[in-house]
Amino acid sequence: MLKTYKFRIYPTNEQIEKLNQHFGHNRFVFNLFLEFTNNAYKNTKTYTNYYVWAKVLTVLKKTEKYQWLNDVNSQSLQQSIKDLEIGFERFFKKLSKHPKFKKKSSRQSFRVPQHIQLYENEGNDKYEILFVPKFKEGIKVRVHRRIDPNAKIKNCTFIKTPTGKYFVSITFQVEGSYPERDIDYENSIGMDMGLKDLVVLSDGTKVEAPKVFRKYEKKLKHAQKKLSNKVQGSKNWEKAKLEVARIHEKIKNIREDFLHKLTKEISENQADVFVVETLNIRGMLKNRKLSKSISDASWYQFKTFLKYKVERLGKKIIEIGMFEPSSKTCSVCGYKNEDLELSDREWVCPECGTVHDRDINAAINIRQFGIEQLVTV
């Protein structure tokens, strides 16, 4: 079983220079072979792959023009083009967009696939030392959680945020597997996701959306205005840019902290099965009136966190189709209210007379659709 943990690292000035060198070289190689692939397809209508790119990379490193690529970990460069191939595979399967060129201004990262060691730092309980190729002196790591002493490190990814902080995500292989349990499919919970209430459970529980971006919107707007008034490239421009990045980082951290705590609480519920709806988030973001609130809600991230937490407990998560009429169907008698508007938060079923809270009714129906989906399969 694989588990990944993210830790903050505290490199020395010399190590920061080395890390930045790795970020730049890996970005260059990724962009070089993305352009190479685009041109090959444009001119010959043929698709090249990792094996072609790896051979070309080996030849390039022996030339005088590109010998500087030898200054960084060779396996990291190979991993960079492996990631590019994965990007193309996902594109051809219509799981993601066409790979894009990496920019220095965005989040920077590179992966080390092997030869990684993590040791306790004698005399300092706060930090441990991480050893990877090209960093023989070791990098200080703030390990804030207990790690299984028998866990084996599979790979690690170094990350530099726009605010200049450095992190490492380490993937461990641990013994055992997800716990096996007898799933009681009737013991299930449906979840309806929204904007006012982030999630509504079929048992009637409502969780109000934190609306983090809305809370910091004015502060962010003010910082962005100050940035636009600075001369690009100047020291004051760099300071203003950093302030904008810090606000974005704060919004991200608060939102992720909220979602982690919420999904942990929901996943530890007594239920064995959790049913969520499939949402066309990309299509919904085209609605200019709601796009900001939809982005702030982070539905996709909520489902991602919930999925791995549920699976680690040996439970099951089900996604129903995006076209199921969960809001318009009476959960008591099955009557479909085609006249229901988005603004109608409560409605009375004309068939059985039940008074419905729109969101709770939808969550109950989502639960039922998920159970029916299992039966038909």
pLDDT in tens, the chain (377 residues): 888 999 999 999 999 999 999 999 999 999 999 999 999 999 988 888 999 999 999 999 999 999 999 999 999 999 999 999 999 999 999 888 999 999 887 789 999 999 999 988 776 667 899 999 999 899 999 988 888 888 999 999 999 999 999 999 999 988 876 777 788 888 899 999 988 899 999 989 999 999 999 999 999 999 999 999 999 989 999 999 999 999 999 999 999 999 999 999 999 888 899 999 988 887 888 888 888 888 888 999 999 999 999 988 889 999 988 888 888 889 888 888 888 887 888 888 888 888 888 899 999 999 998 888 876 65
Give me the catalytic one of 85, 128, 243, 359: 359
Read out DSSP for 59-82?
A: HHHTSSTTGGGGGS-HHHHHHHHH
Q: Cα-flanking dihedrals φ and ψ of residue 347, to 5°?
A: -155, 155
Q: What tokens appear for 306 in the block?
A: 């919930």
Active-site residue identified among 85, 128, 192, 272:
192
Say if CB 85 and CB 48 are below 8 A apart.
Answer: no
> Could you identify the residue written with the tokens 């419905």?
356
- Helix 50-61 and helix 74-92, axial crossing angle in degrees, nearest 10: 150
Q: Which of 128, 243, 272, 277 is catalytic?
A: 277
Q: What is the dihedral of CA 105, 140, 144, 304, to 10 degrees?
A: 30
* Catalytic (active site) residue 125: no
Q: What is the DSSP letter of 329?
A: B
Q: Sort strands 152-160 and 135-142 into parallel, antiparallel or unpaired.
A: unpaired
Provide the whole-model pTM.
0.85
Is 148 designated active site?
A: no
Please say if 83 is a catalytic residue. Answer: no
